[in-house]
Amino acid sequence: MVSVRKPKRAAPKVRLPILSPGMRNQRRGQRRVAVIDIGSNSIRLVAFQGPQRVPVPIFNEKVLCGLARGLGETGRLNPQGVESALKNLERFTRLAEAMQSDEIAMLATAAVREAEDGPAFVAEVMQRTGFEIRILSGEEEASFSAEGVMAGSPMAEGIMGDLGGGSLELVRIDGGKVTDLATLPLGPLRLLGETGGDGKAMRRSIEEALDSLPWLQPEVTPHFYAVGGSWRSLARISIESRNYPLKVIHGYTMPAGELEDLTRVVARQTKESLARIKSVSSRRLETLPPAALILRRLLRRLRPSEVVFSAYGLREGWLYNQLSKAERAKDPLLEVARDVMERDNRFGDLGPELFGWSAPLFEDESEADARLRQAACYFSDLAWREHPDYRASWALHRLLQWPFLAADHRERAFLALTVAWRYGGSDEISSFRVLLSPEDAERARVLGLALRLAYTLSAGTIEVLRNCHLYWSEDRLRLNLPEDGPVPSGNVVERRFAQLVEAVESRI
């Protein structure tokens, strides 16, 4: 048998009433929850279903109404925005009911909270839809947004900013807890209305608002987490300009200095020049420059090392807040991976067995790397239903592009490349290796080839895999097969073990 020398190892919790039409349609123990978020610029309906810890959006629709347009000058909601919102809220609630949602929640933020006609708007919505709106306080809005970030990035440390049309929520996250939070009147629509779009006046308003928060200091934030549609537009511009290989916004990370340069450019652009950028929605042309200016002033003040864009926000935070302490403590990435294995496995839950089986190859891995290896083991049979010629490519793109996978881009790339190697590799792997360090890319190849060997030996069955072992003896990697077992050594086994050996040797 071939062998190789062993390498030397040198947030305050807020409970809200859940509004429900009384429907209870259980689907394999998974509830369907509809959240209607009534923001200062947009209203959105998102229907969630799946594991409680990581519910998956199964419907997502947004309408830009601009409720906060002119609010700073008049103190009232924008009449055209109110008309649009009422019409679309009727539609959203009817859709949520037609989806047989077990729970429906309508949450309103800064614009409705601050407008003098906010109560009349809430009453009209109740009259038309039969549902009440829960108006969130500034503290609740900030807390839920932060909990949304932590729901998707449980190891988040730093300051989160959630920019809406009428307000900016800032929260300091330390050790998985909210330690400071504030709501500031700094939404792009509000700034434009109060300053007429004058750059100096906007900068003055931003700095005065930020000066009111003594805890907003540079030394407390190695990371800044950016939430909100306008800031996600900046991420799209960056991705397009860099010809970056992955288009997923969640987990996209930029050096703060690079993003500061981008915001300086965008803040000075006209609507006409921004309209020439394919990644910018026409409805964001007016609000994107002030949004860029707000982020630029924040980055100059905080001096974070990097900025992480999060697709998780208030809606996900509201759901996360409803969970028990035990449920909240679960790892969202591993919960998704386990759910995939439980739903799609052919011969049983092989994930834990594969995790233990591959352990001899990664004796000195960090806790974070072990977590990724465990997730990869659960995802390893993801593409078995696909045509053999396309399994590697399908798995690669599925994991790279999976919506709301609680992983940053490095983690996505590691999982995707690992599972692609498990299916024999793909010509497209080289395009995404740039998302990983050379060490991580080689580690993904070793793990992927080890998983490929494991499935060759066992055909995906637990009983057979338990009788086959990788181990080190006299500084060499060896494969033990039972003499009386159902998997004698053959050409395919020896060839795939040799491929694994070659990959391990390249890491020495």
Separation CA 148–CA 406 (nearest Å): 11
Report the 10 Å Cβ neighbour count for 427: 8
- pLDDT tens digits for range 291-347: 999 999 999 999 999 999 999 999 999 999 999 999 999 999 999 999 888 888 888
* Residues 82 and 158 both lie in one domain: no
- pLDDT tens digits for range 187-200: 998 999 899 989 99
* Residues 275 and 172 both lie in one domain: yes
Percent of the chain with pLDDT over 90: 70
**End residue of a domain, out of 102, 135, 168:** 135
- pLDDT tens digits for range 75-129: 999 999 999 999 999 999 999 999 999 999 999 999 999 999 999 999 999 999 9
Determine the pLDDT at residue 217: 83
Separation CA 410–CA 50 (nearest Å): 25
Over 60: is that where the pLDDT of 27 sits? no
User: For the purposes of burial, counting CB atoms within 10 Å of the CB of 17, is it exposed (0-12), middle (13-18) or buried (19 or more)?
Assistant: exposed
Over 90: is that where the pLDDT of 410 sits? yes
Mean of pLDDT values over 361-366: 93
* Residues 360 and 343 both lie in one domain: yes
Mean of pLDDT values over 253-267: 95
Over 60: is that where the pLDDT of 487 sits? no
Query: In which band, very low, low, confident or very high, does the pLDDT at 169 lie, cut at 50, 70 and 90?
Result: very high
Query: In which band, very low, low, confident or very high, does the pLDDT at 285 lie, cut at 50, 70 and 90?
Result: confident
User: For the purposes of burial, counting CB atoms within 10 Å of the CB of 21, is it exposed (0-12), middle (13-18) or buried (19 or more)?
Assistant: middle
The answer to the question of residue 219 being in a domain is yes
User: For the purposes of burial, counting CB atoms within 10 Å of the CB of 245, is it exposed (0-12), middle (13-18) or buried (19 or more)?
Assistant: middle
Separation CA 78–CA 65 (nearest Å): 9
Q: Which helix (H) or strand (E) holds 206?
A: helix 199-211
Provide the CATH number for the domain around residue 263.
Answer: 3.30.420.150
Report the 10 Å Cβ neighbour count for 340: 19
Query: In which band, very low, low, confident or very high, does the pLDDT at 349 lie, cut at 50, 70 and 90?
Result: confident
Query: In which band, very low, low, confident or very high, does the pLDDT at 220 lie, cut at 50, 70 and 90?
Result: low
* Residues 145 and 109 both lie in one domain: no
Per the prediction, the chain carries an average pLDDT of 89
Of 63-67, 182-186, 404-408, the one with minimum mean pLDDT is 404-408
Say how many domains are in the chain. 3
Separation CA 92–CA 276 (nearest Å): 32
Over 70: is that where the pLDDT of 236 sits? yes
* Residues 384 and 457 both lie in one domain: yes
* Residues 103 and 247 both lie in one domain: no
Determine the pLDDT at residue 489: 59
Question: Residue written as tokens 């990370």?
Answer: 253
Over 60: is that where the pLDDT of 21 sits? no
Terminal C-alpha separation, the chain: 20
Query: In which band, very low, low, confident or very high, does the pLDDT at 23 lie, cut at 50, 70 and 90?
Result: very low
* Residues 376 and 424 both lie in one domain: yes
Query: In which band, very low, low, confident or very high, does the pLDDT at 33 lie, cut at 50, 70 and 90?
Result: very high
* Residues 211 and 343 both lie in one domain: no
User: For the purposes of burial, counting CB atoms within 10 Å of the CB of 196, is it exposed (0-12), middle (13-18) or buried (19 or more)?
Assistant: exposed
Query: In which band, very low, low, confident or very high, does the pLDDT at 56 lie, cut at 50, 70 and 90?
Result: confident
Separation CA 46–CA 164 (nearest Å): 17
Report the 10 Å Cβ neighbour count for 343: 8
Separation CA 357–CA 453 (nearest Å): 11
Angstrom distances, CA of residue 197 to CA of 132, 229, 291: 35, 20, 12
**Enclosing domain of residue 368:** 331-506
Determine the pLDDT at residue 348: 83
